[in-house]
Amino acid sequence: MDLETLLSYRWSAMTPEFIILGVVAVLSLLDLFLPRSFNRKLLGWLSFASIIAALITVFTLIGDTPVSILYDTFRLDSFAIAFKILLLIGAALAMLLAISYEPEEKLEEYRGEFYYLFLTALLGVMVMSSSGDLITLFVGLELLSISSYILVGMRKNYLPSNESAMKYVINGAIATAITLFGMSYVYGISGTTNIKEMAAALGAIDQQQHLFLLALAFLMIVVGLAFKISAVPFHMWAPDVYEGAPLPVTAFLSVVSKTAGFIIIIRIFIGVFFQVPDLSGNNSLILSLQNYLAVIAGATMLIGNIVALRQSNIKRMLAYSSIAHAGYLLVAVTAFSPFMIETLWFYLGAYLFMTLGVFAIIQVAAWKAKKVQINEFAGLYRSSPFLAVSLAILFLSLAGIPGTSGFIGKLNIFMGALSTEPTHYILASLLIATTVISYIYYFRVLAAVFFRQPQQETKISFSPPAVIVISLCVAVTVILGVFPNIAFDFLHGNFLSFNDFIQ
C-alpha cells in the first residue's frame, strides 16, 4: 500500500472514531502528567464532550453512504450509522453516570483510567459496527471486551468487583474461543475473511459436507456471541458481574455491550449466512436453522423472567431482566422479518433509555447502600416522588405497558414474529406469557416504592448529571411510547430501509 492509495481513501468516514481515539490518547497523557490534586472529573466532562462531538459528526455522515475504505475492511453504511447513534447516546449517558459515580472507598486514583477505558470500549463497538471484515470485527470485539474486563474490576479494593472481573474475563475468554472457532470454519471454507467476498464464495458452495460444516460454524458463532448479549446458554455470568461491577459499568454492559452483540449478530447473519443455501439447496441456511435460534430465544426469555422472580438484589434482578430482554430481541432475529433491523434498532433504543434511566435512579437512590436490595427502595415515594414516579414509568416501559416505548418495541417484535412465513406463533405467545411473568417482579419493586414504609429516613442527594440522565430517559420513554413514529420516520427518512446494507 503506497501513500497515494492511503491518501485516496475517504478518511472522513472515520471521523467519529478519530475523535474518540484522539481524546483517548490525550486523556491518557493528561492523566499521567497532571498533578494528583487535579480534579479528574474534568476529564470525565472532556470524554463526554468527545462523545457528543462524535455523535454530531455521525449525523453529518448520514446520506453519503456507503463508504468502504481500507480494502473493504471498514465500511460505513446506513446500518453502521444508525447503530452508532444508539451506541454513542448510550455511552454518553453512561458517561454522565460515571462522572457522578462516588463509591464509598473513593475512586480518585483511578478516575482518569475509568473515563478513558470507557472511551476505548466505545471505540471497539464503533469499529465493530462498521467492520467489513471478520478481522476488524474481531479486533473491535476484543477492544470492547478487554476494556470492559478492566472496567468491571475498577474498584480494586472492593472484593465483589474483583470477583466479577475474574468471572467476566474467564467467561469472556471461553466465549471468544468458541466464536473464533466458528469463524475459522467459515474462513476455512471460503478462504477469505472479507465479509463481502465470503458471501460470494459461500453462495456458490454445492458440497453437502461444506454446508454441514457451515451450519456447525453458525451454531458456534451464535453460542459465542450469546455471551455478549447474555443469552442462553452464555447468560450465567450476567447476574454475578452486574452485581459486583461499578454501577456505570453495569449500565454500560447492559446497554452498549448488548447492542454491540446484536450488531455483530446482524452483520454476520445478513452479511454472511443469509447468502448460504441450506442443505436442501433451496432455502437460506439461516432460515432452515431458525428453530435453533427459536429454542435459544425461548429458553432465554423463560430463564431470564423466571429466575428474576427470586431475586432480592435489584442489580441481580435487572441482570435477569436484561437476559429476558435479550430473549425478546432474539425473537425478532429468529423471525427474520423484512423489518427486523428497524425492529431491533427501535427496541435497542427504547431499551437503552429505560435501562440507563433505571440505573441512574439506583445510583441516586441507593448510593450509600452496600448491597442494593429491593428493600432499600421501600418508601422511596415519600423521600423522593420524582425518583419514584420516574422509576414507575421506566419499569412500566420495561414491562411493556401501553403508552411507553417498551410497549411499541414489543408490539413490533410481536407483529414481526407473526408476519413471516412460517408464522412463529409459539415464540409470539411465549413472548406474551413471559412478559406477563415479568409484571410480577417489576410490580413487586413498585409496590415497595409506593406502598411500604421506608426502613429509615435517608436523605437523597441529587447529582445534576444523574438527574439529567433520569429526566431525559423518562421523557424519551414516554414520547416514543406516544409518538413512536418520530423514531420510525427518522429511520425511514435517513436510511431508506437499510438498502445499502442489505443490497
Partner 1 sequence: MMEFAWIIPLFPLLSFLLLIVYGKKWGSAAPYIGMLLTFASFIVSLLVLVARFENPTYKAEATWLTIGDATLTAGFEVNQLNALMLVIVSLVSFLVHMYSKGYMQGDERISVFYSYLGLFTFAMLGLVLSPNLLQTYIFWELVGVGSFLLIGFYFYKEEAKAAAKKAFIMTRIGDVALFIGMILLFWQVGSFEYDEIFASVSAGTISSEMITLTAILIFIGAVGKSGQFPLHSWLPDAMEGPTPVSALIHAATMVAAGVYLVATMFPVFAASEAALMTVAIVGAFTAIFAASIGLVQKDIKRVLAYSTVSQLGFMMLALGSAGYVAGVFHLTTHAFFKALLFLAAGSVIHAVHTQDIEKMGGLWKKLRLTGPLFLIGTLAISGVPLLSGFFSKDEILVATWVHGHTILFLLAIIAAFMTAFYMFRLFFLVFGGEARGDTNHVKESPNVMTVPMWVLAFLAIFAGYINTPWFGSFLGDWLTDGNAALGHGHIEGPIWIMGLATAVSLLGIALAWLIYSRKSLSRDWLSSRAPYAYQLVNKKYYIDEFYHFTVVKAASILSRVARLFEVIIVEGLIKLITAFITGLSKLGSRMQDGQVQTYGTVAFLGLAVLVIVLALTGGYL
Residue ranges in contact with partner 1 by CB under 8 A = 166-167, 170-171, 174-175, 178, 211-212, 215-216, 219-220, 223, 226-227, 232-234, 236-237, 239-240, 278-279, 288-289, 291-292, 307, 337-339, 402, 408, 411-412, 415-416, 419, 483-485, 488, 492
**Least spacing, CB of residue 223 vs partner 1, in Å:** 4
- Residue 98 or residue 220: which is nearer to partner 1 going by CB? 220
> In angstroms, what is the minimal distance from the CB of 488 to partner 1?
5
Distance CA 393, CA 403 (A): 10
| Smallest separation (angstroms) from partner 1 to the CB of 156 | 20
Q: Which amino acid type is present at position 450?
A: F
Pairwise CA distance, residues 201 & 276, whole Å: 9
Report the C-alpha gap between 297 and 463 in whole angstroms. Answer: 38
Rank residues 88 and 241 by Cβ distance to partner 1 and give the closer one.
Answer: 241
Give whichever of 290 and 373 is closer to partner 1, judged by the CB atom.
290
Site of grid cell 419499569: 395
CB of 235 to partner 1, least distance (A): 9
Of 167 and 444, which CB lies nearer to partner 1 in the complex structure?
167
Q: 168 is written with which cell numbers?
A: 467476566
User: Closer CB to partner 1, residue 77 or residue 240?
Assistant: 240
Cell numbers standing for residue 457: 429516613
The CA angle 151-152-153, to the nearest 5 degrees, is 90
C-alpha cell of residue 293: 435460534
Q: How far apart are CA 55 and CA 96, in angstroms?
A: 15
- Residue in this structure with the C-alpha cell 409506593, named with its chain if needed: 450
Smallest gap from residue 490 Cβ to partner 1 (A) = 12
**Look-up of cell digits 494528583:** 36
Give the residue from 161, 113, 111, 96 showing the smallest Cα distance to 360. 96
Contact 26, 112 (CB under 8 A): no
Min dist CB 248 to partner 1, Å, is 23
Residue 437: Cβ within 10 Å count: 16
H or E element at residue 67: strand 67-69
Q: CB of 304: closest distance to partner 1 in angstroms?
A: 12
CB of 479 to partner 1, least distance (A): 13
Closest distance of CB 23 from partner 1, Å: 34
Cα-to-chain-centroid distance, residue 10: 28
Nearer to partner 1, 246 or 484 (CB): 484
How far is Cα 150 from Cα 333, in angstroms, rounded to an integer?
A: 31
Closer residue to partner 1 in complex, CB, 45/386 = 386
Q: For cell 437523597, name the residue.
A: 460
Q: Which is nearer to partner 1, 74 or 320 (CB)?
A: 320
Taking the alpha carbons of 183, 186, 188, 190 in that order, is the dihedral positive or negative? Answer: negative
Give the cell for residue 93.
449517558
In the bound state with partner 1, the residue whose beta carbon lies nearer, of 90 and 379, is 379
